[in-house]
């Protein structure tokens, strides 16, 4: 059985790591805070003293940190340590072009690369029902799939390296836009003197409903989404960076921005 390494034990990465262990894989972890490792070690995982030690002893290394800078910092320590024939899988949502550049560097050392951002959050990770969007060769995708199946309900190869990231940022930008439109709709309803509770219940059962609206409708105020808004804002920004002059990307950003600003307290 492959030896799995994992870095990034946050609200989503932590349950993913738990699922990998539960599937019976030998799992090695590294975390900036050693105390964060305790519950995982109690369930059978082991700890690496540093990132390089993790990379040198694992066949498959997953990374689930917040952003491009976090991935870059980890990769600089992993790249020299990982063995030819091993595999790195990026679950973070980062720029597609960053993945393409990283894949080239890893390929030069004989290391396979898969970008595999996930959707569903911590509850879906804990339930083993995350959606995983993959970019990479068919060979790498098939090799990584058994590990991904430990925490995923739907796994889709979207194309070559970077395609998983492109799919993820489009999906998240649409989610943000739907929440932004929900915000606009409720503001319009308020301006028309409609009862907010009645309008929310009506829309949830009518043609204007969406998953984004349902999430928005559960919020007492936009500020209650302060935990998720910065991540959605980041992903909308990744889409705009990837398509700076594209009308579709601009439309998604414009729809999302007022709500995200309110949720972030701007």
DSSP string, 172-214: HHHHHHHHHHHHHHHHHHHHTT--HHHHHHHHHTSTT--HHHH
Q: Tell me, yes or no, if 28 is annotated catalytic.
A: no
Among residues 139, 168, 204, 234, which one is catalytic? Answer: 168
- Domain co-membership, 129 together with 196: no
Q: Residue 68's domain is classified under what CATH number? A: 3.40.50.720
Q: Is the domain of 51 the same as that of 106?
A: yes
Q: Are residues 204 and 254 in the same domain?
A: yes
Whether residues 141 and 9 fall in one domain: yes
**Residue 7: in which H helix or E strand, if any?**
strand 4-7
- State the burial class of residue 88 (Cβ atoms within 10 Å of its Cβ: 0-12, 13-18, 19+): buried
pLDDT tens profile 208-223: 999 999 999 999 999 9
Are 130 and 66 contained in the same domain? yes
What are the b/e assignments for 29-52, b being 16+ CB within 10 Å?
A: bbbeeeeebeebeeeebeebeebb
**What are the pLDDT tens digits along the chain (266 aa)?**
899 999 999 999 999 999 999 999 999 999 998 889 999 999 999 999 999 999 999 999 999 999 999 999 999 999 999 999 999 999 999 999 999 999 999 999 999 999 999 999 999 999 999 999 999 999 999 999 999 999 999 999 999 999 999 999 999 999 999 999 999 999 999 999 999 999 999 999 999 999 999 999 999 999 999 999 999 999 999 999 999 999 999 999 999 999 999 999 99
* pTM of the full structure: 0.95
Domain with 225 in it: what CATH number? Answer: 1.10.1040
Residues 190 and 220 in one domain: yes
The dihedrals phi and psi of 126, each to the nearest 5 degrees, come to -65, -35
Q: Note down the domain range covering 257.
A: 167-264
**Total number of domains constituting the chain:** 2
- Single residue among 109, 125, 160 that ends a domain in this structure: 160
CA-to-CA distance for 129 and 215, rounded, in angstroms? 18
Backbone dihedral angles phi then psi of residue 35, each to the nearest 5 degrees: -65, -25
135 and 11 in one domain?
yes
67 CB burial (10 A radius; 0-12, 13-18, 19+): middle
């Amino acid at each position: 059985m492959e030896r799995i390494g994992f870095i990034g034990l946050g609200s989503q990465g932590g349950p993913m790591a738990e699922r990998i262990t539960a599937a019976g894989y030998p799992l090695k972890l590294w975390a900036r805070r050693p105390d964060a490792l305790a519950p995982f070690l109690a369930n059978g995982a082991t700890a690496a003293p540093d990132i390089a030690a993790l990379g040198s002893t694992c066949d498959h290394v997953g990374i689930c940190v917040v952003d491009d800078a976090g991935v870059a910092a980890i990769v600089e320590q992993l790249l020299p340590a990982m063995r030819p024939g091993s595999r790195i899988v990026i679950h973070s949502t980062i720029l597609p072009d960053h993945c393409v550049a990283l894949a080239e560097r890893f390929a030069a050392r004989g290391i396979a690369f898969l970008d595999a951002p996930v959707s569903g959050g911590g509850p879906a990770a804990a339930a083993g029902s995350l959606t995983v969007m993959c970019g990479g060769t068919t060979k790498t995708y098939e090799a990584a799939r058994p590990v991904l199946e430990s925490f995923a309900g739907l796994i889709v190869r979207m194309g070559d390296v970077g395609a998983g990231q492109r799919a993820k940022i489009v999906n998240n930008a649409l989610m943000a836009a739907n929440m932004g439109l929900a915000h606009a709709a409720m503001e319009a309803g308020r301006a028309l003197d409609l009862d907010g509770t009645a309008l929310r219940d009506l829309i949830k059962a009518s043609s204007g409903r969406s998953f984004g609206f349902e999430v928005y409708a559960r919020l007492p105020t936009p500020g209650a989404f302060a935990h998720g808004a910065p991540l959605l804002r980041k992903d909308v920004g990744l889409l705009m960076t990837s398509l700076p002059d594209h009308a579709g990307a601009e439309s998604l950003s414009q729809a999302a921005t007022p709500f995200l600003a309110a949720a972030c307290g701007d």
